[in-house]
């Protein structure tokens, strides 16, 4: 198990695998969320686009929180 103490660089956090929740949007397309990273969610017209978007959102979320010096949660799985 990885501990927060072992993670020191942004690259360490970017290499973690966070579980993604993906579901169809009733209005069309798909919504993806990383529940371990509060507010990290996105949408897309296709599953592929949505997964690309959530990866970009994850990277931006981690970069922003890291630069602010705040605590980054570890993946729940």
**What does the pLDDT read at residue 6?**
61
Residue 50 forms part of a structural domain: yes
pLDDT-based confidence at residue 49 (cuts at 50, 70, 90): very high
- 28 pLDDT above the threshold of 60: yes
Residue 35 covered by a domain: yes
Q: Which domain holds residue 56?
A: 4-67
Q: Is residue 26 part of a domain?
A: yes
- Structure confidence by residue, pLDDT tens digits, 1-27: 555 556 689 999 999 999 999 999 999
Mean residue pLDDT of the chain comes to 92
CATH number where 21 lies = 3.30.160.250
- Based on the number of CB atoms within 10 Å of its own CB, is 70 exposed (0-12), middle (13-18) or buried (19 or more)? exposed
Helices (H), the chain: 10-14, 47-67
Q: In the prediction, which pLDDT does 7 show? A: 66
Q: Which two tokens stand for residue 47?
A: 């599953």
Q: Is residue 74 part of a domain?
A: no
More confident site: 17 or 77:
17
């Amino acid at each position: 198990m990885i501990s927060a103490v072992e993670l020191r660089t942004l690259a360490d956090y970017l290499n973690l695998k966070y579980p993604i929740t993906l579901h169809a949007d009733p209005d069309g397309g798909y919504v993806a969320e990383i529940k371990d990273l509060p507010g990290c969610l996105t949408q897309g017209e296709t599953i592929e686009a949505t997964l690309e978007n959530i990866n970009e959102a994850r990277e931006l979320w981690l970069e922003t929180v890291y630069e602010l010096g705040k605590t980054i949660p570890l993946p729940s799985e």
